[in-house]
């Protein structure tokens, strides 16, 4: 007998969305000139209109951030800066439900994830960095380490508020001021965060938010008043930024794409591994730079794992992101859905076998059923390129060394997972994997104290932990950033 879940929708009444937003500059909302709509990707309903920032808006934001740095923020002690960060963290906790609902509406990710993962981690990042603000002398980064001044920060749409927290919290803790641009499709929680800055009475100009598109991001990158760039997004845009700043003395951390390998050895605990594979690729609709998007199975257990994985995938509930039972929400945009469909079609054309469970997908909004491709080889594009959706490519190996070689055979080096009962095998594998983050018998676990970042085309530098602080401080070489 099968039990059906009754709908359990979260109310959206807690959220109040204005019909139109401007930029947040020097502590106030200022009107924009041109606007573009932002939609709910689950329904295509227009939620609001967002200002398209141009160079003059970026100029004003940088001027406000420079003034705030010189006149106020650089004059405060670490202890005083820390108080603001604690205050922001507490307000974020108090308004957690409002942020979770708004993020789900604007991004399409399930409320279960915004409520239980994104927003608690956002608050945790502010608490963690608040604790560092008055202890920078003891972080092993030299005596009295100095901030750069104004940091330009550009973030993507997959974890909108969380990526803001990853950027803003360390910048403020280390004494920098900020000009941040959220992604075009997901600006609403950043604008609500601007209200939190006002509520916390953060001095004017310490945080400035200019909304817009790629050209707004480029204006931030190229602005002479900005001394440090922190970017998360695609490898293509990361390369453009690297080229743009190559002949300047601007510092940068670039958090780019990935094609994470989840390697399963023949002694892995099967049921736990299947759960970890599902979490690795279907968490956040697979819109995760460190997603375990390549499953690399030891041949002797491949059949059993794939069989169990299909049974487990049939139980993934795809649908209304505001429903508390939903596991997999909407794809963030029409463009991203197109990209997922295109690359999946390439998988078909290259001869891999596609499988998805039966899903009733709505006609409105952007949806893609959880999908696996078996029979994938290393030469296939779906084994090499980031799909950034709920699509898993499955490869197999015979010897442990072959598994490692296959895992390392991509242009990326962001994340990997190892599944094995033997500690010695886990240590051996982790020593040979070229990935910045390696999980053992788990996947997609994040903590503000743990540095995050990649090798090769996955970017430069680390965010989080002591290494992440270094990236915002002069002589903070430990971060691996430019």
Residues of the shown chain interacting with ligand NDP in the complex, contacts defined by CB under 6 A: 154-158, 181, 183-184, 213-214, 217-218, 221, 232-234, 237, 240-241, 256-257, 289, 336, 339, 386, 388
Q: 442, 443, 435, 469: which is closest to 125 by C-alpha?
A: 469
Q: Are the C-beta atoms of 155 and 185 separated by less than 8 Å? A: no
Instruction: Point out the catalytic residue in the list 255, 385, 386, 478.
Output: 255
Q: Is 478 a catalytic residue?
A: no
Nearest approach in angstroms of CB 95 to ligand NDP is 24
Cα-Cα end-to-end distance for the chain: 59
**Between 87 and 482, whose beta carbon lies closer to ligand NDP?**
482
> Among the options 98, 289, 290, 457, which is catalytic?
289
Q: Name which of 287, 299, 288 is nearest 263 in CA terms.
A: 299
Cβ closer to ligand NDP: 42 or 289? 289
Residue 289 annotated in active site: yes
Query: What does each C-alpha distance from 258 to 210, 261, 387, 413, 436 come to in angstroms?
Result: 27, 9, 10, 6, 10
In the complex with ligand NDP, the residue whose CB is nearer, 170 or 217, is 217
Which CB atom, from 286 or from 417, has the smaller least distance to ligand NDP? Answer: 286
* DSSP structure class, residue 473: B
Alpha-carbon distance of 78 to 449, in angstroms, equals 19
The smaller minimum CB distance to ligand NDP, of residues 10 and 184, is found at: 184
Q: Would you say 402 and 299 are in contact if contact means Cβ atoms under 8 Å apart?
A: no
What are 170's two structure tokens?
């360390």
Please report which residue ranges of 28-54 form alpha helices under DSSP H: none
Minimum distance from residue 388 beta carbon to ligand NDP (Å): 4
CB of 410 to ligand NDP, least distance (A): 13
What is the Cα–Cα distance from 375 to 367, expressed in whole angstroms?
A: 25
Least distance (Å) from ligand NDP to the CB of residue 251? 16
- Residues with Cβ < 8 Å from 71, sequence gap 6 or more? none
| Residue at shortest CB range from ligand NDP | 217
The least CB distance from residue 326 to ligand NDP, in Å, is 22
Report, as residue numbers or ranges, the catalytic residues. 255, 289
């Amino acid at each position: 007998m099968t039990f059906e879940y009754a709908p359990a929708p979260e109310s959206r009444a807690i959220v109040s969305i204005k019909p139109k937003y401007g930029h947040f500059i020097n502590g106030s909302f200022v009107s924009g000139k041109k606007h573009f709509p932002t939609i709910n990707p689950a329904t295509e309903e227009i939620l609001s209109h967002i200002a398209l920032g141009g160079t003059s808006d970026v100029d004003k934001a940088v001027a406000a951030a420079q003034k705030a740095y010189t006149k106020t923020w650089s004059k405060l002690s670490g202890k005083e800066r820390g108080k603001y960060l604690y205050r922001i963290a507490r307000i974020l906790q108090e308004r957690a439900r409002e942020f979770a609902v708004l993020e789900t509406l604007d991004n399409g990710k399930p409320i279960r994830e915004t409520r239980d993962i994104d927003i608690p981690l956002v608050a945790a990042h502010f608490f963690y960095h608040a604790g560092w603000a008055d202890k920078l002398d003891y972080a092993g980064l030299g005596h009295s380490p100095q901030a750069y001044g104004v940091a330009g920060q550009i973030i993507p749409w997959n974890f909108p508020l969380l990526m803001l927290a990853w950027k803003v919290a360390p910048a403020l803790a280390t004494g920098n001021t900020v000009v941040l641009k959220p992604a075009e499709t997901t600006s609403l929680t950043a604008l609500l965060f601007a209200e939190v800055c006002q509520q916390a009475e953060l001095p004017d100009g310490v945080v400035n938010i200019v909304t817009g598109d790629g050209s707004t991001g480029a204006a931030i990158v190229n602005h002479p008043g900005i001394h440090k760039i922190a970017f998360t997004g695609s490898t293509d845009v990361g390369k453009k930024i690297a080229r743009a700043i190559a002949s300047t003395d601007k510092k940068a951390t670039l958090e780019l794409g990935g094609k994470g390998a989840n390697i399963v050895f023949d002694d892995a605990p099967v049921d736990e591994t299947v759960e970890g594979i599902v979490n690795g690729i279907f968490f956040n609709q697979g819109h995760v730079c460190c997603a375990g998007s390549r499953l690399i199975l030891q041949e002797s257990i491949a059949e059993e794992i794939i069989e169990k994985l299909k049974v487990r995938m049939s139980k993934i509930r795809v649908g209304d992101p505001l429903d508390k039972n939903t596991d997999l929400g909407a794809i963030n945009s029409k463009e991203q859905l197109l990209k997922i469909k295109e690359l999946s079609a390439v998988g078909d054309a290259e001869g891999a076998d596609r499988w998805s469970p039966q899903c009733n997908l709505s006609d409105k909004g952007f949806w893609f059923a959880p999908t696996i491709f078996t029979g994938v080889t290393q030469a296939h594009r779906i084994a090499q390129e980031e799909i950034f959706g709920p699509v898993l490519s499955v490869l197999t190996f015979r010897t442990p060394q072959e598994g490692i070689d296959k895992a390392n055979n991509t242009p990326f080096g962001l994340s990997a997972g190892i599944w094995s009962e033997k500690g010695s095998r886990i240590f051996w594998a982790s020593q040979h994997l070229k990935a910045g983050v390696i999980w053992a018998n788990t996947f997609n676990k994040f903590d503000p104290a743990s540095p995050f970042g990649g090798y090769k085309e996955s970017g430069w530098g680390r965010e989080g932990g002591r290494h992440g602080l270094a990236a915002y401080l002069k002589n903070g070489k430990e971060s691996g950033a430019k």
